[in-house]
Amino acid sequence: MYREEIRSALKELRLTAMANEYLRQEELPAYATLAFEDRLYQLVSAQLSAKMQKKEKRLIKAADIRDEVARLALLEYLPERNLDPHLIAEISTMNWIKMGISLLILGATGTGKTYVSSAISFEACRQSYSVKTYRATRLITALDAARFEGTYAAWLESLVKPDVLVLDDFGTMQFNHQLCIDFMEVVEERYRHKKPFIVASQLPVRDWPKAFANPTVADGFMDRVIRNAIRFNLKGSSRREGRTYQEEWADDNNPDDAGAKSNGQKPVDADA
């Protein structure tokens, strides 16, 4: 009797998914035999599912994930890659985000660092965490430009806000003295609120301090981000078509660097 009125009211309330589910139920006679609570549950579930899908799409778009097709389910665990499926399974729970533990993805050019960081970022977005990805070189250039354009404060805020901040190709360009000071403020804020980083780099961790013109800032970054981080040491031949792999590329990414967390990392426990 009130079919159209109910649909119109639901749409007016911007409950479009619920309105569509209501119409679907009305078109199937079998639903007339269900209890009111059962039908209501399905209506509410349809609306909630639509809301979560919309949020997921928004988070993925805002994340600027570099490899848009990367997925944890598609990772290959070949022996030469040095990628532990058990560690990936633990990472997929996102307990590391809850604990504020950063991820370091190390390896020579073409070993899949960007793919792994992108796959983890995508899964984080699916689980309702906000992510923002920056290629380190472009970030430094953009921050320099923002200082003259009057958008510098907004840029710094964009580095503090997301649950996970991804820095890809880290260490290939140096933060100057002024950027060091400002970036350290970002690091401090993220550390205080237990917001982790994902840092991907082809440089061994021992060389990361060279990315900062200010040694004090370098020490602060290493202490807050590196000390308790989980490390992936990707190895093997380059996955980029046409590149010839050189064995010594992998040797620089030594899992025995001071403070390294190897692929034997103990499982991440959010209650620890």
- pLDDT value at residue 11: 87
- Are residue 114 and residue 158 in the same domain, yes or no? yes
CATH of the domain at 221: 3.40.50.300
Among the ranges given (63-77, 119-133, 146-160), the one the predictor scored with the smallest mean pLDDT: 146-160
- pLDDT value at residue 233: 94
Res. 272 pLDDT band, cuts 50 70 90: very low
Over residues 256-265, the mean pLDDT reads 41
- Are residue 55 and residue 70 in the same domain, yes or no? no
- pLDDT value at residue 239: 66
pLDDT exceeds cutoff 70 at 240: no
Mean pLDDT of the chain: 86
Res. 6 pLDDT band, cuts 50 70 90: confident
Residue 267 counted as domain residue = no
Residue 162 counted as domain residue = yes
- Are residue 104 and residue 21 in the same domain, yes or no? no
DSSP of the chain, one letter per residue?
Answer: --HHHHHHHHHHTT-HHHHHHHHHHHT-GGGGGS-HHHHHHHHHHHHHHHHHHHHHHHHHHHHT-SSTT--GGG----GGGT--HHHHHHHTTTHHHHHT--EEEEESTTSSHHHHHHHHHHHHHHTT--EEEEEHHHHHHHHHHHHHHT-HHHHHHHHHSSSEEEEESTTSS-B-HHHHHHHHHHHHHHHHTT--EEEEESS-GGGGGGGBSSHHHHHHHIIIIITT-EEEEE-SS--STTPPP-THHHHTS-TTSTT---TTPPPP-TT-
Residue 154 counted as domain residue = yes
**What are the pLDDT digits (tens) for 19-29?**
888 889 888 88
Residue 97 counted as domain residue = yes
Res. 1 pLDDT band, cuts 50 70 90: low
Res. 4 pLDDT band, cuts 50 70 90: confident
pLDDT exceeds cutoff 70 at 32: yes
pLDDT exceeds cutoff 80 at 206: yes
Domain count, the chain: 2
Over residues 76-91, the mean pLDDT reads 93
Percentage above 70 pLDDT, the chain: 87
Domain boundary among 17, 39, 60: 60
pLDDT exceeds cutoff 50 at 270: no
- Are residue 75 and residue 147 in the same domain, yes or no? yes
**What are the pLDDT digits (tens) for 248-260?**
444 444 444 433 3
* Residue-range definition of the domain harbouring residue 69: 64-251
Res. 268 pLDDT band, cuts 50 70 90: very low
pTM (two decimals):
0.78
Over residues 153-159, the mean pLDDT reads 90
**What are the pLDDT digits (tens) for 173-195?**
999 998 999 999 999 999 999 99
Res. 65 pLDDT band, cuts 50 70 90: very high
- Are residue 128 and residue 31 in the same domain, yes or no? no
Res. 92 pLDDT band, cuts 50 70 90: very high
- Are residue 116 and residue 206 in the same domain, yes or no? yes
